[in-house]
Structure 1
Amino acid sequence: MLRSMYAGISGMKNFQTKLDVIGNNIANVNTSGFKKGRVTFQDMMSQMVSGAEGPVPGNRGGVNAAQVGLGSQVGSIDNIQTQGNRQTTNRTLDLSLEGDGLFVVGRNLIDGATLGIDLQQSDVSFTRSGNFYLDNDGNIVNSDGLYLLGEGSEDAAGTGDFILNGELNKIAIPADAASFSIADNGTVNYVDPQGNTQIAGQIRLASFSNPGGLERTGSNSFRLTDNAGAFNDGDDLLNNINDLVTPGEQGSASIVSGSLEMSNVDLAEEFTEMITAQRAFQSNTKIITTSDEILQELVNLKR
C-alpha cells in the first residue's frame, strides 16, 4: 500500500486530537480559573531510501541521505498557565490571584487536627478558581466542599486575641463574627462581637517551578505530579505549612478579594486554530482519496 495513505491517516488522527482540545477550550471560555490547552506535533520515523555518504577526495562530493517521512504524531498536550482576565464581583469570598501560584484545597480533615505528613496527596488539589463559600461550621470551602488550606490561628495566651499558629489547617470564621475581610497577603480577619479585629487564619499558596506539569482532575482542579516541581523543602510532597508560600512573597501571587480570575482562552485565537485544523484535516483526507485513486488505476491496469 502507499505510504502517503498511512501518513494521511496519522494526520487526520492528530488534527482530530487538536480539534478536541480546541473544543474543550471554547467550552470553558467562561470557566473561572480555567487554563487552556495546546497541542504540538512531531514527525514520525522516516524510512531510509539511501544513506548519506561523505566526499571522496579527488573523485566526488558528499551525498545527503534520502528519507521518506511516514506521517506525524502528537508531541505534547500542554497546559498553558498564563494569567486570565480579572472580573470584579464585589463578593468577599471571590478571590483572584495576581501572579504565580495556586490555591490549595483538601478534604478528609478532622476538626481540631492540623495537617501534616499523614495527609494523603490524593486528598489535596490545586486550583486558580477562587469562588469560595462558608459551610455550616464557618469553614471556607470551594463549590465541591473542599477546604481552603492555609495557616491556622489560635488563642495561645488565652486572652481572646487570636494569632497565627504556624500550622497547616482549614480556615474557619466564627458564626458570631460581625464581618470579615481578606487581605492581599491572604490574612483572613473578622470582627468579633466586642468589635475587636481577630485573625481567623492566613491563606497560603502552592508555587511550582513547572505548573504545566500538573495534571487536570476536573472541577477546575489540578493534581500534583512528579514533574510539577518541588515544594519549598526540596521534595515533591506537601508535608507542612513551610512547603507553601505567603501570598505576595517569594515571587508568588497576591490575592485580590472581590474578584475572580476568568479563563485565559482567547476566542479569536481558538477560532483561527480551529480553521487551520479543519483545513489540515481536509487536506489529509484529500491525500487518502488521491492515494485511493492511484491504487484504483493500478487495479485497472489488468482490464
Structure 2
Amino acid sequence: MLRSLYSGVSGMRGFQTKLDVIGNNIANVNTIGFKGSRVMFKDILSQTVSGVSAPDENRGGVNAQQVGLGVSLAAIDTVHTPGSAMTTNVPTDLRINGDGFFAVGTTEQVDAPYLTRAGNFTVDPTRNLVNSEGLHVMGAGGAGPIIIPDEIVSFSIAQNGEIIGVNTDGETINTGQVVGVVRITNPAGLEKIGGNLYQVTGNALGDGEEIEVGIPGDPETGVGSIISGQLEMSNVDLTGEFTEMIIAQRGFQANSRIITTSDQILQEVVNLKN
C-alpha cells in the first residue's frame, strides 16, 4: 500500500520539475539566442515479488513479478535547434547561420572563453567589439579580442567573419579582424551559466579536444557562416510549451489522486478495528 504513496510523490516531484522547466522556457520566449530545455523521465528500480524460473522438459518458464517504485528524472536536455532570424539592420548584430557559437570573455579567457548564440554586440569607447555584459568577442585562430582600428569610420562584417572597414578617405580596407565561431561536438553537454552564456564541460568536447575559434563558414570545421544585421531569436515554441504544460498539469493531478486514493484505502484499513 505504501509503495503507491511513494510512487505518487515521485510523480508529483517529476512533473513539478517539468513545470519549472516549461516556465523557464516560456519566460525566455523573447531572449536572444536562447535554447529551450526538455525533461525526460525514467522509472525507478522495480521491486521483485517473485523471481524468474527457466523452462525445463517438464514445465514452462515463469516470468518475474515486479512492482515499480515510481519515477525519477532521466535528463534535462537543452535543445539546440536553430531559432528564427530577426532582421535589425544593425551592423554589429550577428547571427550564426548553422552550427557554432560565438566566443566571448575577458582578455584572460582567450584560451577558455564562454560561448553564446546571442550576437547583439556593440563597439565600446576603446573600439572593442563586446557583448551586452562587456565581454570581448574573440577573433578566429586565437587572435584574441576583436578591436576595430582607429582609422575606420564605418565597417561591415562579411559571412566569413571578416571585418571590412571604410577609412577617412573613403577607401575600403580589410581590417585583418575576423569574428570567430566555435563548433562543439556535443552542444547538449554545455552548461548554462546565465547571461546567454555557456561554459564548456568535459562532456561537450571529445577526448583531447580543445576550444578552437575557427573561421565562419569553413567547410573543414563545419561551422556556420555569419549574417550581419540579424539576430537569432529564441527557439521556444509557445504552442508546444503550452501543450506540454497541460500534460504536466494533468500528470501532477493524476499523481496527487494516487496519494488521495491510497490515503482513503489506508483509512479503511485503520477503521477495520472499529
TM-score, normalized by the shorter chain, greater than 0.5: yes
How far does residue 265 in structure 1 lie from its aligned partner after superposition?
0.3
Measure, in 1, the Cα distance between the counterparts of 2:31 and 2:270.
Answer: 54
Q: Secondary structure at the match of 1:17?
A: helix
Q: Kindly report the root-mean-square deviation, in angstroms, between the aligned alpha carbons of the 2 structures.
A: 1.4
How far does residue 140 in structure 1 lie from its aligned partner after superposition?
0.3
How far does residue 84 in structure 1 lie from its aligned partner after superposition?
0.4
The question of whether the paired residues in 2 share the 8 Å contact of 1:3 and 1:70 is answered with: yes
1:132 aligns to 2:121 (yes or no): yes
Partner of 1:5: 5
Partner of 1:159: none
Measure, in 1, the Cα distance between the counterparts of 2:88 and 2:210.
Answer: 34
Partner of 1:282: 253
Partner of 1:208: 184
The question of whether the paired residues in 2 share the 8 Å contact of 1:137 and 1:175 is answered with: no
Identity over aligned residues, as a percent? Answer: 53
How far does residue 236 in structure 1 lie from its aligned partner after superposition?
4.0
Q: Secondary structure at the match of 2:25?
A: helix
Matches within 5 A, 1:9-88: 9-57=9-57, 59-88=58-87
Partner of 1:106: 105
The question of whether the paired residues in 1 share the 8 Å contact of 2:107 and 2:144 is answered with: no
The question of whether the paired residues in 1 share the 8 Å contact of 2:52 and 2:63 is answered with: yes
Q: Secondary structure at the match of 2:203?
A: coil
TM-score by length of 1: 0.86
How far does residue 175 in structure 1 lie from its aligned partner after superposition?
3.8
The question of whether the paired residues in 1 share the 8 Å contact of 2:54 and 2:60 is answered with: yes
1:252 aligns to 2:228 (yes or no): no
Measure, in 1, the Cα distance between the counterparts of 2:169 and 2:146.
Answer: 21
Measure, in 2, the Cα distance between the counterparts of 1:32 and 1:46.
Answer: 43
How far does residue 18 in structure 1 lie from its aligned partner after superposition?
0.4
1:144 aligns to 2:113 (yes or no): no
Partner of 1:162: none
| 1:189 counterpart (160, 164, 181) | 164
Total equivalences in the alignment: 271
Amino acid at match of 1:252: V
How far does residue 278 in structure 1 lie from its aligned partner after superposition?
0.2
Partner of 1:89: 88
Q: Secondary structure at the match of 1:56?
A: coil
Which stretches in structure 1 are left out of the alignment for 5+ residues?
110-114, 152-165
Deviations 1:256-280 (A, max 9, x none): 1001000000000000000000000
Distance 1:197 1:83, change over 3 A: same
How far does residue 246 in structure 1 lie from its aligned partner after superposition?
1.1
TM-score by length of 2: 0.95
Measure, in 1, the Cα distance between the counterparts of 2:215 and 2:6.
Answer: 53
Amino acid at match of 1:245: G
The question of whether the paired residues in 2 share the 8 Å contact of 1:226 and 1:236 is answered with: no
Measure, in 2, the Cα distance between the counterparts of 1:281 and 1:252.
Answer: 42
Moved over 2 A (4+): 194-200, 234-238
Q: Secondary structure at the match of 2:127?
A: coil
Measure, in 2, the Cα distance between the counterparts of 1:176 and 1:290.
Answer: 77
Partner of 2:243: 272
Partner of 1:168: 143
Matches within 5 A, 1:226-241: 226-230=202-206, 235-238=208-211
Amino acid at match of 2:47: Q
Q: Secondary structure at the match of 1:290?
A: helix
Amino acid at match of 1:268: T
How far does residue 168 in structure 1 lie from its aligned partner after superposition?
1.8
Q: Secondary structure at the match of 1:178?
A: strand
Measure, in 1, the Cα distance between the counterparts of 2:37 and 2:11.
Answer: 19
